[in-house]
Amino acid sequence: MRHPLEAFGPVLMPDAAMEPILAKPVRAALLEWLEEIWAKAELEEVGLNARMRAIFTGPPGTGKTTLAHHLAARLGLPLLIVRPEKINCRYMNASAEAVGKLFDMVAAQPEPIFLFFDEFDSIAAKRMGSGVNETIEQDHNVTINALLAAMDRFEGFIVAATNLGSRVDEAVWRRFEIQIGIDLPGPHERQRIVERYIAPFVIPKAALAALAHSLETASPALIRSFCEHIKRQIVVGPKAGWPMDRNAVIERVIATVKPHPDIGLPRLWSLGLKDKAVPQFPWPLERDLAAYPVDEPVSAGGDVVPLRRGRSA
């Protein structure tokens, strides 16, 4: 059955949530927030309110939406992902009206809704007064003012995510009680992301660590894309008659999956097949760790670089 709020974007139920993969300080902050929400009654006794609003900033593909969904699922609430184009309307004043309508509808629901604004900078960009296009600027300012007023009367959970935190209006930003920056994953998170997306295949621990090291500065979305391309090659490659040795497959994958030029090139991409994670990458991939040969070269000596001076390799 269609949820009435789906006029503003998809509504996700708690049972479809995934675990977010996050760095330690962020995880601690989030767990603290969850505990705080659950301790609402005790906080009220000492005259405090539980914080209800958070804004996540960080580069694209770092799992902000996954995180919001996980939080909503931990609390047991449906998550409404508000789509910016449902708020920004083509007519004068209609955007402000849509903001008011959204908050009124959410408030009228019998159970709370976890309100999630994705790409928040497109809704809550700074108010403008350049005078270059006064009508549009005024309409935008009216929308932001409506948003501020709506946020002040709203008593539920609001989470917003944006790539460009600096573009969000200051007054809107101030109304979020928690501001969390979600950065690119660290080495440990990268290992976990590879594990998740390479499944059902598994990679031995040493090779996994080497791969995670070579994937430094990669976003979760890029790592996911890399893993999925490898799996796709395993399925499609033999049918297409491509060479299926390790180097050929990895070369094809890194040729078709590339990070955004501004994010920085992980080592696997800059070195290509010369990267030391490549010879350690188990091939063919197995679904069980026990299936890999025991005498697989261990990474302990992996850093030895053969001398090439005076000799053509």
Partner 1 sequence: MSKREATAVGRNTISGRILMAFIERIERIRDQKKQLAEDEKLVFAESAATGFDNKTIRNVLRRRAAKPADVEEAESMLDLYLHAIGMATETPLFRSVGNMSVDLAARDEVIEAFKQLVPTEGEIIVKIGKQPVRLFRDENGVAQAEDIIEKPTAASKPASAVTSRPKRDVPDVDRLGARALGATAYRENQPITSNPFPWDDERRQEFDGGWREASGTDGMGPEDD
- For residue 273, the number of C-alpha atoms closer than 13 Å in the C-beta half-sphere is 10
Instruction: List the structure tokens of 165.
Output: 């935190």
Q: Which residues contact 26 (CB under 8 A, 6 or more apart)?
A: 180, 182
147-186 footprint of partner 1 as x/- string (CB under 8 A): ----------------------------------------
Decide if residue 188 touches partner 1 (CB under 8 A). Answer: yes
Identify which of residues 71 and 146 has a Cβ nearer to partner 1 in the complex.
71
Decide if residue 20 touches partner 1 (CB under 8 A). Answer: yes
Instruction: List the structure tokens of 50.
Output: 């539980």
Site for partner 1 in 22-81 (CB under 8 A): 22, 24, 27-28, 30-31, 34-35, 38, 70, 73-78
Minimum CB distance to partner 1, residue 247 (Å): 30
Minimum CB distance to partner 1, residue 272 (Å): 29
Decide if residue 3 touches partner 1 (CB under 8 A). Answer: yes
- Stretch (H or E) spanning 32: helix 24-38
DSSP H helices in the chain: 24-38, 40-45, 64-75, 84-87, 94-107, 134-153, 170-174, 187-198, 205-214, 220-240, 246-256, 267-271, 277-280
Minimum CB distance to partner 1, residue 18 (Å): 8
Decide if residue 129 touches partner 1 (CB under 8 A). Answer: no
> What residue has token string 């989030």?
30
Distance CA 122, CA 169 (A): 11
Identify which of residues 1 and 304 has a Cβ nearer to partner 1 in the complex.
1
Going by DSSP bridges, is the β-strand pair 114-117/178-181 parallel, antiparallel, or unpaired? unpaired
Site for partner 1 in 91-120 (CB under 8 A): 108-112
Binding footprint of partner 1 on the chain (CB under 8 A) = 1-5, 13-15, 17, 19-22, 24, 27-28, 30-31, 34-35, 38, 70, 73-78, 108-112, 188, 192
